[in-house]
Amino acid sequence: MNALAKSCLDIRDLSAVLPNGLRVLRSVSLSVQPGEVRALVGESGAGKTMIGKAVLGVLPPSVRIVEGDMLLEGEDLGKLQPKARRTLIGARTALIPQDPLTALNPSRRIGPQMTDRLVRILGWSGEKADTRIRQLLDEVQIRDPERVLKCYPHELSGGMRQRVLIAAAFAAEPRLIVADEPTTALDVTVQKQILRLIAQLQREHGTAILFVTHDLGVVAKISQKVSVLYAGKVVEEAETAALFAAPQHPYTRALMAATPRYTDPLASLKPVDEAVLAGLAAEIAAADQAWRHPHG
């Protein structure tokens, strides 16, 4: 219990449903320790983004949490008043989004967009926030901060926008950053740089990251722990090294077999094994049955 209380993020048995009763999250449990990178891996539609949004308090109105708790540094988010929850989430978390274009306000210049947030969250003066932003832009290796601060988002390349967003995410020194497929929308050549940059800033700032990805290659590079998600259910969780050395769940093994290997282009064409998916479907159906009739 003591060890759990110290978690940066602790999700316990979180379930969420759509208006039609479909479960998008199935008793998800997941924790991120301070300063650690936890990867959340799964195919598209598995519910990875939903988990991130649940943590950050921005689930779409149609998605309803029906059970479970979320603890941010030991504080139960469900027990807080909406306003207090917003303030807490605002102060302790940040998001590095999937699409760096729409995550920046198109009609506002980069500079004020970034400083505003610091002034708001930390109550700093505009001047202090400005200094801080410049320092962060330097850390994300933006060489001409003066120009970038005066730019509108569409005047920057995708890679530059993502650097700006990474700088913005780390600027307020959050305890937890949710990175939702932060390299997916970028050119392949830029992906590696951005990944390296996130890893470097994570190390220097000691920030815990919940790193959402569909790419096992990325998982291996960046994370210490990993949770494998399928259809809103965590099917396996392990230390990253252990997972790659000896995947336990058949789905994890199938996912690994389906992951493209750069040396063998044809390997990328292999779908996840059908028998494994059939087995999973049965497993999930059984779990749903048990969930609907907890006493019978």
Ligand X SMILES: Nc1ncnc2c1ncn2[C@@H]1O[C@H](COP(=O)(O)OP(=O)(O)O)[C@@H](O)[C@H]1O
Least distance from ligand X to the Cβ atom of residue 70, Å: 16
Least distance from Mg ion to the Cβ atom of residue 162, Å: 16
Stretch that binds Mg ion, among 41-49, 108-116, 118-126, 240-248 (CB under 5 A): 41-49
Q: Side chain identity at 88, as an amino acid letter?
A: L
The secondary element (H helix, E strand) that includes residue 253 is: helix 250-258
Under rule CB under 8 A, residue 161 binds another protein: no
Of positions 31, 49, 252, 259, contacts Mg ion by CB under 5 A:
49
Residues 31-60, interacting with ligand X (CB under 6 A): 42, 44-50, 60
Under rule CB under 8 A, residue 99 binds another protein: yes
Least distance from Mg ion to the Cβ atom of residue 167, Å: 23
Return the closest-CA partner of residue 164 out of 210, 112, 127.
112
Residue nearest to Mg ion (CB): 49
The phi-psi region of residue 59 (left if phi > 0; otherwise alpha if psi is between -120 and 50; otherwise beta) is beta
Least distance from another protein to the Cβ atom of residue 109, Å: 9
Under rule CB under 8 A, residue 77 binds another protein: no
CB nearer to ligand X: give 42 or 250: 42
Cα-based torsion angle of the residue sequence 244, 170, 71, 122 in order, rounded to the nearest 10 degrees:
170
Count of chain residues binding Mg ion (CB under 5 A)? 1
Angle between helices 158-171 and 188-205 (to 10 degrees): 10
Alpha carbon of residue 16 to chain centroid: 17
What whole-number distance in Å separates Cα of residue 287 and Cα of residue 296? 13
